[in-house]
Amino acid sequence: MPYSARKLFACKESKGSQLKTQTKRLIELGFVSHMPEWMFKKGERQRSINLLALDSKLDSSVYGVWDFLKRFWRAYSSFFSRFHLTGFRKLTNNLLSEGFNLLIAGLLLMLGLAIPSFKLIEKGDWLATGQYSVTLLDRYGNEIGHRGILHDDAVPIDELPDHLIKAVMATEDRRFFTHFGIDVIGTMRAIVENMRANGVVQGGSSLSQQLAKILFLSSERTLDRKIKEAFLAIWLENHYEKKEIMKLYLDRAYMGGGAHGVEAAAQLYFGKSAREVNLAEAAMMAGLFKAPTRYSPHANLPQARARANDVLDNMVEAGFMTEGQVHGARLNPAQPVDLGKGFNIPEFFLDWAFDETRRLAKGKNYFSLTVQTTIDMELQKEAEQAVANILLPNRRPKRVSEAALVSMTRDGAVRAMVGGQDYGDSQFNRAVQARRQPGSTFKPYVYLTALENGFKPTSRVVDYPVVCNRWSPKNYDRRYRGAMSLELALAKSINTIPVWLARKVGHKKIVTNTRKLGLKGVRPNCTMPIGTAELSLLEHTGGYAAFANGGKRVRPYAVVEIRNTKGQTIYSRDKDEPKSQQIFDPKHIALLNQMLGKVVSSGTGRRAILDFTYSAGKTGTGQNYKDAFFIGYTGQFVTGVWYGNDNNRPTNRVTGGSLPAQTWHDYMIKAHRSMNIAQIPGLPLHPIQIEEQKRIALLRKTNPNAVYDELKDQRMPNRTLKLLQSITTLMQKAKDEFGPVVEPTNDVQAEIDGDTDQLAQRENN
């Protein structure tokens, strides 16, 4: 027996005899072998008794709590059994309960959706967008439009005619003074009418929602924009009075012809202040909000008057006026002032140029500015016409609703920009703001990187299945052609070859080259070589400009010079911008140009062939035919064209070699006014170019006025032409009086040879 047990039995009977007896019994039964001595020391016995008491209390407490809970549950169930529902009452109760749950979930969802909208407000500069008042000039110094607003010069709303306010409300938002920012009744009516017509025939946006779009958002037609628009409209209603909202809308809304606000529109269309417009003129102005370009009286007077008649009908229907009050306006429709022939405003370009102006003028503390831009209005007209001629007849059969075009010189000066089919219908600039998958037009960046890493156009590669992280690219015709040269692979737009090349040279090297070119958002991954990264048409075309100029970095630009009201130059591109850097070896660029020349001459871009000069470029088609690109260049212009849909809906198999290439071809024919075109690095001169250079050289020898005539054909600024004409006249007189003149210097010879862009730049500065 253990020592502790023997000591236990040797103890005398005491008050703890009962404990010892129990312990002995436990030992005999085998539950314990011994008990520690400390339990039987003086003062420790009471401690063991307290532990047992504690255990007892815990057991009783747990039992008491459990008993209480059972009794409580029985009482609770008995009480609520009185409210037991059956039949219709139960159904109603369940519906209310579920409705309450859905309401809570909806409120949480709305809060999540509202946060991005409120972040736009937090920027704090949304009212400052109209701080600048900018007059924009074309490359020749002719005024082409205005942007921005000076609020101090705007007409107070109390001074505007009552019939103008009523005309706007009757057409845009009849319940403006009664709704909370969203016209529920008007929205429901528009939904019903659109469903009946199986299309969009009515808009349901309130005036507050339209103002929210103007102040904070773009015109891109997406669900995300509509959600933000609704929240921002409610915010405006809670922070501004109705009159203030109306004032902001009348000052900011675009009304065609480059005019923003009713005061600018009244001056443009009627040559008077908005304070003085009559009812017929007010109706015509109110009709412009729906589609400023379509209903502009300068563009289509009969359609503008028909729209004004609809506005008068709306005023009578809304109860704002009687038929007798509007009768005089029907008999005597508004007569706009005559702006002369050739009225044309490059709206998309002006928006972009205005944004560039604000960026360049920021911090200079000048707000009334005159800006000389790069745009050529003749080229702009040809660009718009080329897009319209191809897009309009193909909208339905090809299921394509939008197109964009950007044309620039080899140094990035944008000469023409088409941001969409109709600026009045949507001010979203698809040439600048939209980011799309470029498809195969991305491949030249891959091939350039391959050329830098030892490959040549004649290098043999194999078109066969390639796997990258369980993904395998497919060719357009789902076939593999076996061994071929890099040049042929690019011309035929094979998909497997660039994927293989990217693995061979490294994805990161390709991304590094795209960043050198100014392309944003390109990430190294398996699908990147076939153009799955999203790029804007403007930056993508600027990337190709580096190929056309021999490998120099190009940043597309719209602003040449900015002057304040005192005539002081606060920005000059020549002085304030760094010189363009050589970012690629001209030898590699020449090889790439040879390959891209084959794309046009014998590859997928044959529809872009020009019969007066050699060109280079690349076609591209996005996934599921959602986007179609062609970007190409001559020795004078670099032009990119895109076709697709705003909602990313697939087209009817539109490829880059079809509509985009045809549009590019039609525009470039009209854009080249002279055949004295520079040579593309790596490509030979076209026979017509050679003949043109011979002709110019002969004219230079036989006729001093040939310099003036050639520059006139290329549409130099009038003041430059007059100056050159005077110089040639004086030189002729000097020759007659003093003998032959000295041969021209290299700089002058370059100007004579046709470097008209450089000459125009010097004259403007």
Which sequence positions are flagged as catalytic? 172, 440
**What is the rounded CA–CA span in Å between residue 685 and residue 7?**
120
Q: Are 207 and 289 in contact (CB under 8 A)?
A: no
Q: Are 7 and 20 in contact (CB under 8 A)?
A: no
**Helix (H) / strand (E) containing 144:** strand 143-147
Helix (H/G/I), strand (E/B), else coil: 148:
coil
Secondary structure of 538-597 in HEC code, one letter for each residue: HHHHHHHHHHHCCCECCCCECEEEEECCCCCEEEEHHHHCCCCCECCCHHHHHHHHHHHH
Report which DSSP code applies to 82: G
φ, ψ for residue 15 (rounded to 5)?
Answer: -65, -20
Q: Are 492 and 471 in contact (CB under 8 A)?
A: no
Angle at 609 between CA 606 and CA 610, to 5 degrees: 175
Distance, C-alpha 289 to centroid of its chain: 23
Q: How far apart, in Å, are the Cα atoms of 282 and each of 160, 174, 330, 599?
A: 10, 16, 12, 55
Q: Are 187 and 328 in contact (CB under 8 A)?
A: no
Q: How far apart, in Å, are the Cα atoms of 235 and each of 106, 198, 242, 613, 691?
A: 19, 32, 12, 58, 67
Beta bridge partners of 370: 135, 563
Report which DSSP code applies to 684: P
φ, ψ for residue 36 (rounded to 5)?
Answer: -65, 150
Q: What ranges in 123-222 are assigned the alpha helix state H? A: 162-172, 184-197, 207-216
**What is the rounded CA–CA span in Å between residue 625 and residue 651?**
6
Q: How far apart, in Å, are the Cα atoms of 120 and each of 219, 259, 351, 629, 662?
A: 15, 25, 20, 33, 41
Q: Smallest Cα–Cα separation from 183: which of 216, 230, 225?
A: 230
Establish how many alpha carbons lie within 13 A of residue 328's alpha carbon, considering only the half-sphere containing its beta carbon. Answer: 5
Q: What is the dihedral of CA 749, 750, 756, 759, to 10 degrees?
A: -80
Helix (H/G/I), strand (E/B), else coil: 618:
strand
Q: How far apart, in Å, are the Cα atoms of 385 and each of 414, 422, 706?
A: 17, 12, 31
User: What would the two tokens of residue 765 be?
Assistant: 């500065």
Q: How far apart, in Å, are the Cα atoms of 138 and each of 91, 370, 373?
A: 71, 11, 5
**What is the rounded CA–CA span in Å between residue 656 and residue 437?**
12
β-bridge pairing 414-418 and 402-409:
antiparallel
Q: Are 379 and 139 in contact (CB under 8 A)?
A: no
Q: Smallest Cα–Cα separation from 423: which of 294, 300, 539, 575?
A: 294
Report which DSSP code applies to 436: B
In terms of phi and psi (left: phi > 0; alpha: psi -120 to 50; beta: otherwise), the region of 682 is left
Burial label, 227 (beta-carbon count in 10 A; 0-12, 13-18, 19+): middle
User: What would the two tokens of residue 224 be?
Assistant: 């995300």
